[in-house]
Structure 1
């Protein structure tokens, strides 16, 4: 790859073609912004920048618009990388930052209307089932080999990306290019959990060692133990909370549950990256990958006993062990709360918040720059079985719509490759800590920085990483189905409905969408084909999901030592 890139730059000079002035901007960018923080040598960085200058020449003066959700990584792209790309290539980029729900809404509108709202989207790979079935986005495998070949970076190195399995359809085609990834993990106050007095008090109360909870029973014990506890004897607040969550009736509430809460409870089937035939949305597919039901009466699990257990536990813990304000918070508002120093643990914490949790002035940081907290695998519920999905990994990924004119798609594809390039990725990851490349994760820089990131690097270097995955292909239309979750789950958390009533309504609404898609026939042989309804007891008596209610939904609590866990990852 290096030789090919160097040759591209050398040819234009050898033929007497004037070097585009953008290389001056590129050199300034490498000096002032990258500053050596790249997995590439300076020589190879310059060669990669020269390739972008040459490839962008036909599009000089074009103005394009792209969009993403608002997280630290995308703020860095919009505020730093987009202006740099514009200066280097002459392509003016407007990178809009909006809410994740709004990104999905804009994409859905473009799909339905054919109007080119944005020239490229960074949307979650959760939409892979939608993109594969509707065929309204350019599959990048064919794009890079055909129409987009002249604007595809020879140094892109797809094999270096860690998330392409999430953005590849069952047809083997790549539909999206990962831009940022983060996982949901367990977060806890390592300093409190390893304090001798705290450990002694916990063991006296519960009869086993305080540690990382392996199951929900242990998580609940720990939540109860810390809630209201005076931690001032080791410099903490005089009253703390044993759990953190959020419950506002907002689109982000739905993600909390489709993003693996239900699979961690044990609702779906065994199978990685997603349960098969029943996934973490409770949707069952047949042998042809056609969705056949969501309610138990059709073989789905969205309103199954395991799903009811999942929602019931979340509601109980939110009410009993979380700060009172948490019930009125959304994803973004709740993310910063653990850093304020009053929370002992959070079962489902997104690593996207790592960058905002390591500021030296925070009460959760030590004076030497190391955190007082750590991250570990989330515990699982009583219905969970070995071999099931254990957590969610977000993979925000570049998507090119078919409705985008080719020249605009090419210009946008150049920008997408620029912000994910090897020249840029190490610096971008240093800012946002949302890793997409193996070379970045394994760099010397992150070996040196690992001790200050609370286990993030150890997680991403471990084989455990492979067991965290986004929504899979059982979900045929993410935009239509995702909006049903937050409204119905919100009814359960607010007390307007019981968990069973809310989930009965949710699965019925999901099936109405599946029925409409089946009648419309827009997905052909890949679309839903609903099963006939049967007595739910029939399906509850079959192997796998949906699972019959257990006589006892409490299990023996299990914890593990965090330090031993990290050793096992390193081995």
Structure 2
């Protein structure tokens, strides 16, 4: 995360049109899943649509997103292309993720138009749906935005629209980029015969990709305390971060509890209890509590287990400095070459882990590492969400003047259009279209991406999902996580005490939201009862297991790849 950067370009060019489109198609917009002629036809539509807006006086718009490589490419390159091709100038600001949420809240509360278009995480889908201030794109495309909706948009080609669809069945946001949190490991170390023998002699099973948390823990202990050093370098079996910082919350709201098995079964999110531990009522929409006493699971045995393992592993198996790091500080550490595996690693780091000269990259440019599905905890069951996927998505306020909103919608479609989407995917490695994932260009890139392409082509992909619609107000509830988790990291609270307090505070916020004037599905808390009554019902919250560490289970990476190619998860 970096400080805000605003991109400003020269005034809109007088010669905007087909010639500029041809220039961009011949150079920057390659490769594409479209032919050059199809690309030019798509650009011809954008030029005509923009002309209608320019005649109405719209010549400049302002949009915003968080700072990641994909959005930097949009801000520096695609915004310039849109300006030159259509004649409408785009100021695409890049700011920290927290600032995006803060400014978004300001526009929600004030009604004052700050930006004409926003790339906001789909994690806010429950918020947007309930407050009624975000334009449902389904309605917009059929009404006020119809003449500005591209005939080649092809919504069915987007892989993330299920995450941006609310309980009313309407699409509220358009996916712009996606990345998942997966398992990362040093394949070169895992393949060493001497280490494989030593591991099997000690644990009785093969060193490989861990299927469960028991195996992950064994591997973490093995590299930290048995291997200790490789090629003269001290090695660690785990990497994480633990500083009291807002980014600590992402570590947990980004589905750490679901990986342990806290939620109910259900894809994309557990129903009726989701991965935050929030239960909804029979209407599958009304939040009724986070505490076990109200039927929630935020302070359940599975959730406490998840927090306990997070702390234990970081203190026992990660580099000593990890506990004082933030998300952004910890991100580059595995590339330094002394970490054997990481259970919670974002695919957005893929390109930064592939740079020549890094300790984790071979001389031929191929990675020494691989990515795979993250292992799951003992409470996890088939049919549950298995991890998190970030889906940054175009979002539009009703408070934005109509014609400015129409112009921003035009730009949103431009940066996700098939003309540019494959090139954008190759730059940022945050795919949004099935056609791009299946392209020859992605096949050609696969050997240098450590399993990235194979994962996105696999059936495993569907079990990695963003925060769902059970969360009624993401900004208000998300901030509770890092403050409470931090008390367990420092030892001020036990894991149980921290999760009890978190659940209580979440219920407190939801109680206030009952009176907040939500347009749909406002919380209505269940009365408190004995948690044992809920644990006896056969779903989340799940009762405590007698054995939280079953035998470790691993799978050979090549077997995993073969399963993916055959359409199986493992």
TM-score with structure 2 setting the length:
0.94
Quick check: 1:189 aligned with 2:183?
Answer: no
Alignment of 1:307-346 (within 5 A): 307-346=303-342
- My pick for the range that moved more, 336-345 or 89-98, is 89-98
- Residue of structure 2 in register with 1:421 after alignment: 417
Q: 2:526 aligns with which of 519, 527, 531?
A: 531
- Residue of structure 1 in register with 2:252 after alignment: 257
Q: Counterpart of 1:278 in 2: which secondary structure?
A: coil
Q: Give the total of aligned pairs.
A: 549
The CA deviation string for residues 444-494 of structure 1, in whole angstroms up to 9 with x for no partner, is 111111111111111111111111111111111111111111111122122
Task: Name the CA shift for 1:232/1:222 in 2 (closer, same or farther; >3 Å).
Answer: closer
Q: Give the unaligned 5+ runs of structure 1.
A: 1-18
Contact 1:237/1:341, CA 8 A, preserved across alignment? no
Quick check: 1:396 aligned with 2:383?
Answer: no
- Residue of structure 2 in register with 1:298 after alignment: 294
Alignment of 1:174-253 (within 5 A): 174-227=171-224, 236-253=231-248
- Residue of structure 2 in register with 1:278 after alignment: 273
Q: Give the unaligned 5+ runs of structure 2.
A: 1-13
Quick check: 1:557 aligned with 2:552?
Answer: yes
Q: Counterpart of 2:233 in 1: which secondary structure?
A: coil
Superposition deviation, residue 20 in structure 1:
5.7
- My pick for the range that moved more, 173-182 or 493-502, is 493-502
Task: Name the CA shift for 1:372/1:231 in 2 (closer, same or farther; >3 Å).
Answer: farther
Superposition deviation, residue 230 in structure 1:
5.5
- Residue of structure 1 in register with 2:11 after alignment: none
Contact 2:16/2:87, CA 8 A, preserved across alignment? no
Quick check: 1:128 aligned with 2:122?
Answer: no
Superposition deviation, residue 395 in structure 1:
0.7
Contact 2:131/2:517, CA 8 A, preserved across alignment? no
Q: Counterpart of 1:379 in 2: which secondary structure?
A: coil
Structure 1 CA distance for aligned equivalents of residues 396 and 533 of structure 2: 44
Q: 2:98 aligns with which of 84, 101, 111?
A: 101
Q: 1:55 aligns with which of 49, 73, 93?
A: 49
- Residue of structure 2 in register with 1:12 after alignment: none
Superposition deviation, residue 229 in structure 1:
5.7
Q: Counterpart of 1:445 in 2: which secondary structure?
A: helix
- Residue of structure 1 in register with 2:77 after alignment: 80
- Residue of structure 2 in register with 1:268 after alignment: 263
Structure 2 CA distance for aligned equivalents of residues 209 and 200 of structure 1: 8
Contact 2:233/2:338, CA 8 A, preserved across alignment? no
Structure 2 CA distance for aligned equivalents of residues 522 and 210 of structure 1: 51
Q: 1:379 aligns with which of 372, 375, 383?
A: 375
Q: Counterpart of 1:300 in 2: which secondary structure?
A: coil
The CA deviation string for residues 14-56 of structure 1, in whole angstroms up to 9 with x for no partner, is xxxxx9633222222222312x311110101111111111111
Structure 2 CA distance for aligned equivalents of residues 417 and 520 of structure 1: 33
Quick check: 1:155 aligned with 2:152?
Answer: yes
Q: Counterpart of 1:397 in 2: which secondary structure?
A: strand
- Residue of structure 2 in register with 1:39 after alignment: 33
- Residue of structure 2 in register with 1:505 after alignment: 501
Structure 1 CA distance for aligned equivalents of residues 425 and 226 of structure 2: 37
The CA deviation string for residues 192-236 of structure 1, in whole angstroms up to 9 with x for no partner, is 001111111111222211001111111011001111565766xx4
**TM-align CA RMSD:** 1.5
Structure 1 CA distance for aligned equivalents of residues 109 and 444 of structure 2: 48
Superposition deviation, residue 96 in structure 1:
1.3
Contact 1:254/1:485, CA 8 A, preserved across alignment? yes
Superposition deviation, residue 369 in structure 1:
1.8
Structure 2 CA distance for aligned equivalents of residues 328 and 409 of structure 1: 43
Q: Counterpart of 1:314 in 2: which secondary structure?
A: helix
Structure 1 CA distance for aligned equivalents of residues 183 and 130 of structure 2: 34
The CA deviation string for residues 95-152 of structure 1, in whole angstroms up to 9 with x for no partner, is 1111212211111111111111111111111111111111211111111111011111
Structure 2 CA distance for aligned equivalents of residues 22 and 356 of structure 1: 36
- Residue of structure 2 in register with 1:517 after alignment: 513
Contact 1:177/1:399, CA 8 A, preserved across alignment? yes
Contact 1:20/1:53, CA 8 A, preserved across alignment? no
Quick check: 1:92 aligned with 2:89?
Answer: yes
Structure 2 CA distance for aligned equivalents of residues 232 and 330 of structure 1: 26
Superposition deviation, residue 263 in structure 1:
0.6
- My pick for the range that moved more, 284-293 or 543-552, is 543-552
Q: Counterpart of 1:25 in 2: which secondary structure?
A: helix
- Residue of structure 1 in register with 2:4 after alignment: none
Contact 2:212/2:377, CA 8 A, preserved across alignment? yes
Superposition deviation, residue 542 in structure 1:
2.3
TM-score with structure 1 setting the length:
0.94
Structure 2 CA distance for aligned equivalents of residues 497 and 90 of structure 1: 58
Contact 1:229/1:240, CA 8 A, preserved across alignment? no
